[in-house]
Amino acid sequence: MSQFSLLATRRFWPLFLTQFLGALNDNVFRFALVIFITFHVSMQAGLPANLLVVLSGGIFILPFFLFSALAGQLADKHEKAWLIRRTKLLEIGVMCLGALGFYLQSMPLLLAVLFLMGTQSAFFGPLKYGILPQHLTPNELTGGNALIQMATYIAILGGAAIGGLLAAWSGESPLPAVTGVLGVALLGYWSACRVPSAAPSDESLQVDWRLHRATWAVLREALATPANRVLLLTISWFWFLGATFLSLVPGYGKALLNADEQAVTLLNAAFTIGIGLGSLACERLSRGRIEPALMLPAALGISLCGAGVFLLGLPLAPEDPTTLANFFQREAARAIFFTLVALGACGAIYVVPLTAALQAAAAPTQRARIIGGLNILNALFMVGSALYTALLLQFELSLPAIFLITAGLNVLVMLAAAHAEPAFWQRLRARLGAWEAETPG
């Protein structure tokens, strides 16, 4: 049965649409804010636009450190569909504040709204991934996670494009951006009201409201077993890789291809297209089973693509800009586009089975807390990616060279994961044997 058949079921489509609209709204607001900062606020604030944009990214990710542990506890203790509806109501309230911030052109209020958006997302994450195993059978988990992953990246790309367009269309009037974010929030609440109920995992759980202590407790609990440690760290490594590669793409397009804004957006879309293709391939490659061992060949593919960017060399940027109209007429642009598509596809094949394996392996009574711990680690790894990239850029390394170095690090991580979890090799050999047996002739 195709994974797309899940979209026709009540136990999946409302959650799928709710999480897609939430991710879309996050990115519509964030990119509208980036445009607003760049063209309207930076001069008034007396600060460089780039500094304010970096600050906004840090403000959005901070709640994942602060609240993911609490979010995991609440998701395990209470009925999840009820909590999902409450988080979507919070999103509507936050978007109302965001509308006021755009109307008043108040930078402090807009940054406060960004923090609240990060908070809402931090509380939604454990609910989203914690409820999936309650509504899907084990042989549907990989396909369900693949659809969620694909939709998330489409929402990121779509949100960036829509946010930029709304901000540009708004000019001095905030009405288009305000209407957009409020409309998406209301539609998200409508879909959330249709998510079927999911019984509490552990009603007896005593919630620890002291954030610092709860955070350490959830991390210790999540990392308690060797199998969980490998799954959590390899998933977070994917977010390190994704954040690193995506941060390099705009600079690559501008410096090495002389690409305009639309052509750079197309390069970002290449990664998203790859994620979509890889997510669709996961169901077929795993034959509906949970196969975390797929991360080994997928990780190798990621490293080969990263090395491929290096081997493409340093193209001499053309004097006339690379645009949407002439993009695929230029060999260097075509080459990097399809390399990024392959990179994204390998990334999806890497992370989707690992996420499904983590959900299946976690005890039902603590599944949401483990997802909360994963979100904390993901945030740490993404911050680490920013520091890592900034450090390498300080050494004046070329962008292709940073791709190569990251590809080499990824090979080391792959080997370390395989050494820490020998079952990966065993499952991969078994999977390869099954594929050979299933191949005609």
Q: Are residues 422 and 298 in the same domain?
A: yes
Q: Are residues 167 and 242 in the same domain?
A: no
**158 in a structural domain:** yes
DSSP 125-183: HHHHHHHHHHHS-HHHHHHHHHHHHHHHHHHHHHHHHHHHHHHHHHTT--HHHHHHHHH
pLDDT at 107: 78
As a whole number, mean pLDDT of residues 194-204 equals: 89
Tell me the CATH number at 22: 1.20.1250.20
Q: Are residues 249 and 178 in the same domain?
A: no
Q: Are residues 288 and 349 in the same domain?
A: yes
DSSP element (H, E) containing 227? helix 226-257
Residue carrying the six token digits 């044997």: 433
Q: Which of 203, 178, 363, 349 is nearest to 278 (CA)?
A: 349
**201 in a structural domain:** no
Residues of the chain with pLDDT > 70: what percent? 88
User: How far is 48 from 70, CA to CA, in rounded Å?
Assistant: 35
pLDDT at 239: 92
pLDDT at 104: 81
**303 in a structural domain:** yes
Name the least confident of 173-182, 204-213, 404-413.
173-182
User: How far is 11 from 384, CA to CA, in rounded Å?
Assistant: 37
**254 in a structural domain:** yes
Indicate the pTM of the whole model: 0.85
Q: Please count the other Cβ atoms lying within 10 Å of the Cβ belonging to residue 226.
A: 10
Q: Are residues 68 and 150 in the same domain?
A: yes
Q: Are residues 150 and 13 in the same domain?
A: yes
pLDDT at 306: 94
Q: Are residues 268 and 315 in the same domain?
A: yes
Q: Which of 321, 332, 306, 337 is nearest to 410 (CA)?
A: 306
Which of 193, 211, 234 represents a domain boundary (last residue)?
A: 193
Q: How does residue 205 score in pLDDT terms, banded at 50, 70 and 90?
A: confident
- Above 70 in pLDDT, residue 137? yes
Q: Are residues 178 and 253 in the same domain?
A: no
- Above 70 in pLDDT, residue 432? no
Q: Are residues 311 and 239 in the same domain?
A: yes
Cβ-Cβ contacts under 8 Å for 431 (sequence gap 6 or more): 291, 293, 294
Q: Are residues 369 and 411 in the same domain?
A: yes
User: How far is 225 from 358, CA to CA, in rounded Å?
Assistant: 12
Backbone angles phi, psi at 322, to 5 degrees: -85, 120
**200 in a structural domain:** no
Dihedral Cα 81, 83, 85, 90, nearest 10 deg: -160
Which of 193, 210, 240 represents a domain boundary (last residue)?
A: 193
* Residues 90 and 142 sit within 8 Å (Cβ to Cβ): no
As a whole number, mean pLDDT of residues 260-275 equals: 84
Q: Are residues 273 and 370 in the same domain?
A: yes
**439 in a structural domain:** no
List the domain range (segments joined by +) for residue 97. 1-193
- Above 60 in pLDDT, residue 236? yes
**341 in a structural domain:** yes
Which of 193, 217, 233 represents a domain boundary (last residue)?
A: 193
User: How far is 232 from 361, CA to CA, in rounded Å?
Assistant: 11
**82 in a structural domain:** yes
Q: Are residues 309 and 187 in the same domain?
A: no
pLDDT at 278: 92
**Total structural domains in the chain?**
2
Q: Which of 241, 29, 62, 12 is nearest to 156 (CA)?
A: 29
Q: How does residue 44 score in pLDDT terms, banded at 50, 70 and 90?
A: low
